[in-house]
Amino acid sequence: MPLLEIRNLTVEFATASGPFRAVDGADIVVESGDILAIVGESGSGKSVMMMAMMGLLPWTATVTSDVMRFDGQDLADLSTRERRRLMGKDIAMIFQEPMSSLNPCFNVGYQIKEALRQHLGLDRKERHNRAIELLEQVGIPSPEKRLNVFPHQLSGGMNQRVMIAMAIACSPRLLIADEPTTALDVTIQAQVLDLLTGLQRDTGMAMILITHDMGVVAETAERVSVQYAGQKVEEQPVTDLFATPHHPYTFALLAALPERATEKHLPTIKGVVPGQFDRPSGCLFSPRCTFADETCKSTPPAVQPASLGYARCHYPISAKTEETA
């Protein structure tokens, strides 16, 4: 039984100008101890999908799914109270902006201990010791002193470490990292990623890493799910994905990596992710796809079999056509 199974998840926002579909039939399956990366451009619905799962979306959002199960429990069936018992304990989440994700009014120790009190019911002394232990675990020097420090007195990297300490406080079985390194300096990015993968290895928790950085994906993930305009367009193990991408979007994303550039100018994908008003009727990627024809523009493509990376494409690129291309 997979740890997390989500089938056909759809999230719609009610806006002043009508409904907007941010996630459109997405699937996620994560086994215990798995590291799944979800990649895609800004606006492809990666974060919204995770927030929907956590129940963090505002009331304007409508979430529907065929299956949304964590460890055999149907998340949609849980009462809000039962769901809260799961959030922050078995499923934890860290966010993109460490500086604004911590409450400026409370010191670091308070915010970590709060999670411990909520879910584990430790007494004061135990909470204190566990908090020190956690700060140590995420590599914050002189942890005892750091407990009394406020977020504005720490750097972004340190704050993200605090966020991670807070997330792993109750030994979650699934950690969702929503662009954990995007707001950080490059040197710090590597440290934080190392920390996350190290923690994942030590604790055996599953991890979903949301990112738009293919470099981060290559370094950390085992499986990659590529998302575009609210749909999963491809999913493969990381090495296979980098070797033989099947969806033209994945292909284009990889081609845009500086390390892979063969020409003087870095190849780009022209245009942006379709929004509320310019959603194509056929394949969502067709307006930007170099391979698209009339079929692509008129009919939504079906999902291809596993051998073709579940690519949602009429003409998936196979290893062979890539060679001839």
Partner 1 sequence: MLKYFLARLLTFLPTFVGVTLISFSFIRLLPGDPIIVMAGERGMSEERYNALMQEFGFDQPILVQYWDYLLGVVQGDLGQSFVTKRPVWDEFFALFPATLELSICAMIFAVMLGLPAGVIAAVNRGKLPDRLFMSIALVGYSMPIFWWALLLIIVFSGNLGMTPVSGRIDLLYYFDSTTGFMLIDSLLSGQEGAFRSAVRHLILPVIVLGTIPLAVIARQTRSAMLEVLSEDYIRTARAKGLTPARVNGIHALRNALIPVITVIGLMVGTLLAGAILTETIFSWPGIGKWMVDSIFRRDYPVVQGGLMLIAVMVMIVNLTVDVLYGFINPKIRKR
Residues engaged in binding partner 1 (CB under 8 A): 51, 54, 56, 84-89, 92-93, 95, 97, 100-107, 114-115, 118-119, 150, 152, 163, 166
The least CB distance from residue 92 to partner 1, in Å, is 7
The least CB distance from residue 275 to partner 1, in Å, is 21
Other Cβ atoms within 10 Å of 319 Cβ, number: 11
Residue 37 or 163 having the CB closest to partner 1: 163
Beta strands in 56-165 (DSSP E): 61-64, 67-70, 73-74, 91-94
Q: Which residues pair with 70 in a beta bridge?
A: 4, 73
Residue 145 or 260 having the CB closest to partner 1: 145
Other Cβ atoms within 10 Å of 279 Cβ, number: 14
The least CB distance from residue 164 to partner 1, in Å, is 12
Structure tokens, 290 = 């170099």
Structure tokens, 181 = 């390194």
Residue 53 or 214 having the CB closest to partner 1: 53
Place of tokens 């493969």: 236
- DSSP alpha helix (H) spans, 26-78: 46-54
The least CB distance from residue 101 to partner 1, in Å, is 4
Residue 54 or 313 having the CB closest to partner 1: 54
- Report the distance separating Cα 98 and Cα 294, nearest Å: 45
The least CB distance from residue 89 to partner 1, in Å, is 6
Place of tokens 């990366």: 37
The least CB distance from residue 129 to partner 1, in Å, is 20
Residue 85 or 297 having the CB closest to partner 1: 85
DSSP state of 96: S
Q: Which of 28, 5, 59 is nearest to 231 (CA)?
A: 28
- Report the distance separating Cα 61 and Cα 58, nearest Å: 6
Residue 54 or 238 having the CB closest to partner 1: 54
